A and B are shown apart, each in its own frame.
Chain A
Amino acid sequence: MKTFRIGGVHPAENKLSAACPIKKAALPKQAVFSLYQHIGAPAKPVVAKGDEVKVGTMLADADGFVSAPVFSSVSGKVAKIDAIVDASGYRRPAIFVDVEGDVWEDSIDRSETLVTLKDRPELTAQDIVAKVKAAGVVGMGGATFPCHVKLSPPPGSKAECVVINGVECEPYLTADHRLMLEKPDEILVGVALIMKAVQVSKAYIGIENNKPDAIKLMTEKAAAYPGIEIVPLQVKYPQGGEKQLVQAITGREVPAPPAIPIQVGAVVQNVGTAYAIYEAVMKNKPLLERVITVTGKSVKQPTNFLARIGTPMSQLIEECGGLPEDTGKVIGGGPMMGKALMNLDVPVCKGSSGLLIMNNKEARRGEIQPCIRCAKCVSACPMGLEPYLLATGSALKNWELVEENDITSCIECGSCQFTCPSNRPMLDNIRMGKSTVMAMIRARNAKK
């Protein structure tokens, strides 16, 4: 069974909602659309207060190449353009829409019929990239990098294969798992579209073997799609990291930053993104809803929702049986890389893969003890770094030391802190060191 070469940990999987079919979430009363739902420049509003919008109406357009438009997922009236504290914890501009009815733009094909590439032979690579760009599709695994950028390899680099992430290595989350079980054909057509867009004939879909049902179903279905291979992977975190995934599947190692997977010929996308690409290209449907897992040990009914983007998290929690009494922490995303939310009015964004509710006991970190130099962080680091050194160096503000020791290669997966017997806040320090060093590097490059 394949897996990545170095490091990694195996947190308790806790996939509580794995057997729960995707359920459509109720429409919210008011939907809130952050203009920062992707990496890059924020979207520019194209509506004003009082405008009538339908499901699929553009609210804000992309501002530059690395940016993505935002669409309304509801019909109604624009209430205001204001700011909210979103899942990132920052105050960000957002468009508020009061919901009235559920009227869709006529251009969107809402039928369930499968459209394959055979039905649309006229589609060219340029068409696909243009449609993906126009639909505002971003990386749905959580990184939210605008999808069309990855589908347009920079000059000088050539894509050789497509690597699709169906790993879902974060504990608790089951959104991608359910999507693979319920929409396998749509995902496979999406993968075929990606292959056509980057002009390669080979695609691999990596799935960890804690999802045998998904591996079986996808393997059966993939037989009908030439060039698509399902690769079962040994369960290990952070296999969903793109560098780890490319290495596990192709054996190639992406060099240190600023190198990206395309340098070894790989284009990496998430299964959720493949589904969104299918809907964007074949159904003309902009990215306006997504699957999100709402889960936690004390949640009454852990559920996978198909939720409209902009739906407040508090509403999803209500639909799962309400916020448990002993809630200590609410996390947007999974427990290893997700962000703790400051309030529950945060809306579902394009990158929201899960909502994890932890009780008071789980939410607290253990008591910090001195580093006993056990070297477990060094063994756990999937990037071959020395987390103990980077964490201490960052805490002492020794930026030269941490830069020399490749702090910028850190993918912030948290394996070091997860494994530390002394409960040291290693990643907190490393993050600070990494961002400081990156800023120093940018400043140096600007001077040149």
Chain B
Amino acid sequence: MANKLIVSLSPHVHGHDSVQRNMYGVCLALVPALIASLVFFGVGALIVLATSVLACVFFEWAITKYILRRDKVTIGDGSAILTGILLGFNLPSNLPIWIIIIGALVAIGIGKMTFGGLGCNPFNPALVGRVFLLISFPVQMTTWPVTGQMTTYLDGETAATPLAVMKEAIKANDPSVLEKLPDSLDMLIGQMGGSLGEVSALALLIGLVYMLVRKIITWHIPVSILLTVFVLSGLLHLYNPVYASPVAVLLSGGLMLGACFMATDYVTSPMTAKGQLVYGVAIGVLTVVIRTFGAYPEGMSFAILIMNGFTPLINTYCKPKRFGEVIKK
């Protein structure tokens, strides 16, 4: 027969979802926050983000081609670009280029490619990069420029972030220190110091809604994290006003970015709804604990990385409810 038939097993149709669609979907969801970072930090944000993305894509290309020697280079799937954007979002906008490049090498090289590339990494690559930089370059990683300096890059004016203010209040055991916090509206919009992508909670929430509507992620992880943090920090605040109000806690630091975009990373988060709730609540608790009692002002990255490590265990014990488990009514 000249015209041979293709024979394969069912299903014979596909929903046309793809890795690219999801990865670029997340990138698109990050656009509002990206615009916010350019508005608040100007040219610095642009340099940091561009360096981070280019370096991540370059390292993935170079490692697959020259070290792993795979025939197919996977930079087109969008995951390296996404890692680059997220890493950049987690950095201050006055970070020198060479430090960013080291961060990208650790994120892609150690965080992702050593484990076999896309889908195999146990820890969120962008966070591996960020935490490596935080530990290696504590000074550069914790001096944040104030917003509104559109044309400066390395030599901008810096100031304490809301998280540092909160830590200071706890250390001094003096609630009046908290008066230095910007008001809630400024914090929602992003008019405050911080890593370049994390400042605007509003822009990040718009991205979250977009991802939920397009069914890229489900609500379980972000909602459970935010709710846990809100409740826990609310209790602390009621117990002693030296702990900042839950609204300020929710809007400060990397919490929104972490809850919406870092903890929801497909590869490193649990597979079932039940597991995702356990994971989200645990991240929320750890974040509040580290922020309140730990040495670092910010606990989000550590909380997510710690729970990434527990994901396989969560997957083993949190099974979906099987059909038919309910005994007949």
Where the two chains meet, the residues of A that have a C-beta atom closer than 8 Å to any C-beta of B are: 5-6, 9, 11-12, 89, 171, 243, 247, 251-256, 259, 263-265, 327-331, 333, 335-343, 356, 358, 362-366, 369-376, 378-379, 381-386, 388-389, 405-406, 409, 412, 414, 417-423, 425, 427-428, 431
Which residues of chain B from 303 to 328 have any CB-CB distance to chain A below 8 Å in the complex? 315, 319-328
Interface of B is mostly: loop
Which residue, A386, A388, A425, has most C-beta atoms of chain B within 10 A? A386
Beta-carbon contact of A171 and B13 below 8 Å: yes
Beta-carbon contact of A372 and B10 below 8 Å: no
Contact of A421 among B3, B17, B117, B325 (CB under 8 A): B17
Beta-carbon contact of B118 and A372 below 8 Å: yes
Residue-wise interface mask of B (251-294) relative to A, using a CB-CB cutoff of 8 A (1 in contact, 0 not) = 00000000000000011111111001000000000000000000
- The residues of A that contact B245 with a CB separation of less than 8 Å are none
Which residues of chain B from 159 to 216 have any CB-CB distance to chain A below 8 Å in the complex? none
> Which 7 A-B pairs rank lowest in CB-CB distance, beginning with the nearest?
A414-B11, A370-B119, A421-B17, A384-B322, A335-B13, A255-B324, A374-B266
Count how many chain B residues have C-beta atoms less than 8 Å from C-beta atoms of the other chain: 46
Beta-carbon contact of B7 and A337 below 8 Å: no
Beta-carbon contact of B325 and A253 below 8 Å: yes
- The residues of A that contact B327 with a CB separation of less than 8 Å are 255
Residue-wise interface mask of B (114-154) relative to A, using a CB-CB cutoff of 8 A (1 in contact, 0 not) = 00011110000000000000000000000000000000000
Contact of B21 among A341, A363, A379, A421 (CB under 8 A): A421
Bound complex: CA of A374 vs CA of B266, how far in Å?
5
Which residues of chain B from 95 to 111 have any CB-CB distance to chain A below 8 Å in the complex? none
Bound complex: CA of A36 vs CA of B6, how far in Å?
24
Q: Please name the residue on chain A nearest to B20 by beta carbon.
A: A421
Beta-carbon contact of B7 and A342 below 8 Å: yes
- The residues of A that contact B77 with a CB separation of less than 8 Å are 369
Bound complex: CA of A328 vs CA of B13, how far in Å?
13
Shortest Cβ distance from A258 into chain B, in angstroms? 12
Q: Please name the residue on chain B nearest to A422 by beta carbon.
A: B19
Contact of B323 among A9, A340, A384 (CB under 8 A): A384
Q: Please name the residue on chain B nearest to A89 by beta carbon.
A: B7
Beta-carbon contact of A376 and B17 below 8 Å: yes
Beta-carbon contact of B267 and A373 below 8 Å: yes
Shortest Cβ distance from B309 into chain A, in angstroms? 15
Beta-carbon contact of A418 and B326 below 8 Å: no
**Pair count A-B, CB < 8 A:** 175
Known: A372-B266, A384-B321. A366 touches B5 (CB 8 A): no
Beta-carbon contact of A363 and B267 below 8 Å: no
Beta-carbon contact of A11 and B15 below 8 Å: yes
Beta-carbon contact of B12 and A254 below 8 Å: no
Shortest Cβ distance from A301 into chain B, in angstroms? 21
- The residues of A that contact B13 with a CB separation of less than 8 Å are 11-12, 171, 335-336, 362, 418
Interface of A is mostly: loop
Bound complex: CA of A340 vs CA of B322, how far in Å?
30
Bound complex: CA of A57 vs CA of B257, how far in Å?
74
Shortest Cβ distance from B269 into chain A, in angstroms? 8
- The residues of A that contact B326 with a CB separation of less than 8 Å are 253
Beta-carbon contact of A251 and B329 below 8 Å: yes
Q: Please name the residue on chain A nearest to B275 by beta carbon.
A: A375
Shortest Cβ distance from A403 into chain B, in angstroms? 14
Beta-carbon contact of A328 and B6 below 8 Å: yes
B52 interfacial by beta-carbon distance below 8 Å: no
Beta-carbon contact of B15 and A9 below 8 Å: yes
Q: Please name the residue on chain B nearest to A326 by beta carbon.
A: B3
Shortest Cβ distance from B284 into chain A, in angstroms? 20
- The residues of B that contact A417 with a CB separation of less than 8 Å are 11, 14
Q: Please name the residue on chain A nearest to B276 by beta carbon.
A: A375
Contact of B11 among A337, A373, A389, A406 (CB under 8 A): A337
Q: Please name the residue on chain A nearest to B13 by beta carbon.
A: A335
Known: A264-B328, A386-B320, A419-B17. A331 touches B272 (CB 8 A): no
Beta-carbon contact of A371 and B119 below 8 Å: yes
Beta-carbon contact of B5 and A329 below 8 Å: yes
Known: A329-B6, A375-B266. A366 touches B14 (CB 8 A): yes
Which residue, A255, A327, A358, A362, has most C-beta atoms of chain B within 10 A? A255
Q: Please name the residue on chain A nearest to B322 by beta carbon.
A: A384
Beta-carbon contact of A252 and B21 below 8 Å: no
Bound complex: CA of A9 vs CA of B14, how far in Å?
11
Q: Please name the residue on chain B nearest to A12 by beta carbon.
A: B13
